[in-house]
Structure 1
């Protein structure tokens, strides 16, 4: 019965997002005819769609900060990735327009398609050409004064509960080459509310907790030691992730569940 209710909630979540999108679509479509000119407005509509749809489904967000963030300067935002709610979490916490780098399959989604054809950056990760083009586009956006969001793991963990995977290097090369800060972000519990796309476990209302670390400046890094920056960010995020989820991981019944699902 519990799983049935969670699967029903998952459907309601997607319906809620779609309803908000349908209401705003005429204006979004109008703005999309000139994406560069209307970049900020399109980003604002994306924010309203994601936050509004989540709110209708009873999903809200709470953000804590290690220090005050100057959102007006371009940065590379690096969050962990465990849920479809991660996109909404980023639109909630970041008050200025920015672009996501995300998987090309989002071009097939009726809601995300228009954003990934205008302000966001689709990438087919197995394609070197696609990855190169995405990298170049992200560079252009940062150089023009805009921030980009890159999930450095490159995917959502297949196992449950999810762990933090080793990072890809792209986010850190972009930051180093453009001398902009990296902002590590941990989305603490989205996986517990809505793991991945919810297909297996459904979802439920709740408050997604997000922690934003202080920006890490990149003036002391270059292409030769960008991997050192990557390790600093990984260690910081991984340690915080373990600390925040240790109560779950240390419960005997959950340890057994992890072993069954992973091995």
Structure 2
């Protein structure tokens, strides 16, 4: 698909997302008035909007599991990050209620703003105060039995084609201090259909392949084990990434 068609496809995708968002906006406004009471409804609306727009323009998802996942439990879900479509991949993957932790700039986006003001957690990367507040909010959320999605790379890097970059410790600290299992998720090729926000190279229809690794338990681990845990998860995810992207 040439560059002009990819740009048209990206416009179609953004238009589809906006269309479904506006369709659901009256419900979102109502639920947002009491996000604690309507947490599950807001999660379902976020999932519906993202998946409806996603499938409308020809994106698809194929998931491979290393082992069956018990979704009655909550997790710190750790996906790699190469595309804005990663958010929809997780919305599709996780059937239970969960929140994202993401960059504070998402509060400026007309679609994501309402979710980051209610059920998701915004963090300013270069602020220790913001990072600490996000950490406390994330810990409180998992203590309530909800799952939390943290992209451990912290951002989508400028490198193309993308690789798996070193992780930040936040996800592993929250998991360890709250005895919550980590669920590593390797999103193999979202970048091939829409890299980053799509503004540089557009998008195209296609299937995104996902490898969900076995949950990693943190029971009995103390803070001294965080570095080891972070390295272990990174190596497992990188192995899965390299096998797929070098094949």
> If the length of structure 1 is used for normalisation, what is the TM-score?
0.93
Classify the secondary structure of the residue corresponding to 2:41. Answer: helix
Q: In the alignment, what sits opposite 1:257? A: none
User: Are the counterparts in 1 of residues 179 and 220 from structure 2 also a CA contact under 8 Å?
Assistant: no
Q: In the alignment, what sits opposite 1:190? A: 190
User: Are the counterparts in 1 of residues 211 and 240 from structure 2 also a CA contact under 8 Å?
Assistant: no
Q: In the alignment, what sits opposite 1:141? A: 141
Q: In the alignment, what sits opposite 2:246? A: 246
CA offsets per residue over residues 172-225 of structure 1, 9 Å max, x none? 000000001000000011000000001111000011111111100011421011
User: Are the counterparts in 1 of residues 75 and 148 from structure 2 also a CA contact under 8 Å?
Assistant: yes
Q: Distance in 2 between matches of 1:234 and 1:14?
A: 32
User: Are the counterparts in 1 of residues 182 and 217 from structure 2 also a CA contact under 8 Å?
Assistant: yes
Q: In the alignment, what sits opposite 2:123? A: 123
Classify the secondary structure of the residue corresponding to 1:237. Answer: helix
Instruction: Say if 2:152 is the partner of 1:152.
Output: yes
Q: In the alignment, what sits opposite 1:52? A: 52
RMSD across aligned C-alpha pairs, in angstroms?
Answer: 0.8
CA offsets per residue over residues 39-96 of structure 1, 9 Å max, x none? 0010000000000011111111111111111112121000000000000000000001
Q: In the alignment, what sits opposite 1:35? A: 35
1:69-148 pair list within 5 angstroms: 69-148=69-148
Q: Distance in 1 between matches of 2:220 and 2:180?
A: 11
1:205-244 pair list within 5 angstroms: 205-244=205-244
Q: Distance in 1 between matches of 2:220 and 2:211?
A: 25
Classify the secondary structure of the residue corresponding to 2:175. Answer: helix
User: Are the counterparts in 2 of residues 187 and 208 from structure 1 also a CA contact under 8 Å?
Assistant: yes
Structure 1, unmatched stretches of 5+, are 248-263
User: Are the counterparts in 2 of residues 186 and 211 from structure 1 also a CA contact under 8 Å?
Assistant: yes
Classify the secondary structure of the residue corresponding to 2:27. Answer: helix
Q: Distance in 2 between matches of 1:87 and 1:135?
A: 20
What is the aligned length?
Answer: 247
> If the length of structure 2 is used for normalisation, what is the TM-score?
0.98
Q: Distance in 2 between matches of 1:75 and 1:203?
A: 31
User: Are the counterparts in 2 of residues 75 and 182 from structure 1 also a CA contact under 8 Å?
Assistant: yes
Q: Runs of 4 or more off by more than 4 Å in structure 1? A: none
Q: In the alignment, what sits opposite 1:259? A: none
CA offsets per residue over residues 74-125 of structure 1, 9 Å max, x none? 2100000000000000000000110000000000111100000000000001
